[in-house]
Copies of this chain bind each other. A is one copy, B any other.
Amino acid sequence: PGKLKAKVTSTAKSIKKLGQDDPRRLTHSLKVGLALTLVSLLYYARPIYDGFGVSGMWAVLTVVVVFEFTVGGTLSKSLNRGFATFLAGALGLGADYFASLFGKNGEPIVLGILVFLLAAAATFSRFFPRIKARYDYGVLIFILTFSLVAVSGYRVNELVVLAHQRLSTIIMGGATCMLISIFVCPVWAGEDLHKAIASNLEKLATYLEGFGGVYFQSSESDGMGTGKSFPQGYKSILNSKSSEESLANFARWEPGHGRFRLRHPWKHYLKIGALARQCAYQIEAINGCIGSDHIQGSEEFKGKIEGSCTRMSAECGKTLKALARSMKTMTDPYSSANTHVENSKAAMKDLKLALKAASLENADLAAILPAATVGSILVEIVKCVEKISEAVH
């Protein structure tokens, strides 16, 4: 029982943590519960929408399948489902009518061929990256509805009634989801994307602002720069591509909200995100150099470039902070960020001068190399940050 108790406690803790990390998860769960209960009770109290009969089931089904975490996800799935059902229903009716022309024996064969061709073609279309990104779910529902309607075995006039019922229940379910997701504590994919990009810039900034101090100080005192004391937040940026892309895809479906217009340039965020990733790769390389055991660098040389390197990374950090802040307030970052970019460029020139002036007669190159490499990568980071600054601007 002690073991069981420990397990229960740890599960409870991880549930609590999950909720605390992002309280919107809890809200989302309650929203799904609400939508489902509403639609279910309508279905239960069937007399209310008399005539819908068993089709009411489709409203429940729609809610469960369509309700996503973000508004954009819900809208994309609802609209995909609605349009695909309509289109496939109409085509299915046509196929039924067409097949009936071939008589009682020919009908199943013709229907089989039609279903095979359409299913194969539609499945293949899902491999197109553009369709996959935006209409994947729609194509799925298209195949589903088409086969159901085509092989239902009902007569065409019965089918029209059925299709009408089904479509209206799906619209009802979809509308419930859309309304609840938009009006009850909405989670906008666009806003999430916006915040994610800004917070990525901040993570880079945190690393860069702290970098100079930690790297140059730690090695002076104890000769250790194992990289363990650096903030590791930037690591999450390395693999952020897919989540950013899916958020941008969802954001396209969202209506204007808050500070975002309907046709906000979401693609532009992906560009900034890619640059931020580029910068994170460089930081990863620096971290590799610092963490490796071949560091027995010349302290003298390190001291010579300390000033300019620290200033370079600090100014880069400040630039990114300013950019993140201006993204958050949606103001033009030009003035403040630009000053820091100029400062970091000036520091870059200082570094070059320091390198030129460094007398190398006493030190051997192998001892200088680690610190020099760090400086060299910092130069790349400065360039990268400049590009980010241009992109945000």
In the bound complex, CA of A282 to CA of B238 (Å): 13
* A239 proximity list for chain B (CB < 8 A): 239, 241-242
Q: When the two chains form their complex, are residues A33 and B115 in contact, meaning their CB atoms are under 8 A apart? A: yes
Grouping DSSP codes into helix (H, G, I), strand (E, B) and loop, the A interface class, with mixed when no group exceeds half, is helix
Q: When the two chains form their complex, are residues B116 and A33 in contact, meaning their CB atoms are under 8 A apart? A: yes
* A44 proximity list for chain B (CB < 8 A): 108, 111, 151, 153
Instruction: Known A116-B33, A147-B40; judge A372-B365 contact (CB<8 A).
Output: yes
In the bound complex, CA of A294 to CA of B369 (Å): 18
Instruction: Known A32-B123, A116-B36, A369-B372; judge A377-B285 contact (CB<8 A).
Output: yes
A183 in contact (CB, < 8 A): no
A156 to B: closest C-beta gap in Å: 15
Contact with B along A112-147 (1 / 0, CB 8 A): 100111011101100110000000000010011001
| A120: contacting residue among B33, B294, B380, CB under 8 A | B33
Q: When the two chains form their complex, are residues A370 and B376 in contact, meaning their CB atoms are under 8 A apart? A: yes
A72 to B: closest C-beta gap in Å: 18
Q: When the two chains form their complex, are residues A115 and B372 in contact, meaning their CB atoms are under 8 A apart? A: no
* A384 proximity list for chain B (CB < 8 A): 288
A45 in contact (CB, < 8 A): yes
Q: When the two chains form their complex, are residues A37 and B112 in contact, meaning their CB atoms are under 8 A apart? A: yes
> How many of chain A's residues touch chain B, expressed as a range?
35 or more
| A119: contacting residue among B33, B46, B372, CB under 8 A | B33
A8 in contact (CB, < 8 A): no
A173 to B: closest C-beta gap in Å: 11
Interface residues of A (CB under 8 A from B): 14-15, 18-19, 25-26, 28-30, 32-34, 36-37, 40-41, 43-46, 54, 57, 60-61, 64-65, 108, 111-112, 115-117, 119-121, 123-124, 127-128, 140, 143-144, 147-148, 150-153, 238-239, 241-242, 277-278, 281-282, 284-285, 288-289, 292, 294, 352, 355-356, 358, 360-361, 364-366, 368-370, 372-373, 375-377, 379-380, 383-384
Query: Can you list 21 A-B pairs with a CB-CB distance of less than 8 A?
Result: A18-B127, A19-B124, A29-B119, A29-B121, A33-B119, A34-B116, A37-B115, A41-B112, A41-B151, A60-B147, A65-B144, A278-B284, A278-B288, A281-B288, A284-B285, A285-B377, A288-B384, A358-B365, A369-B372, A369-B376, A373-B377
Apart from A239-B242, A352-B366, A370-B376: 5 A-B pairs, beta carbons within 8 A: A34-B116, A41-B151, A285-B377, A355-B364, A365-B372
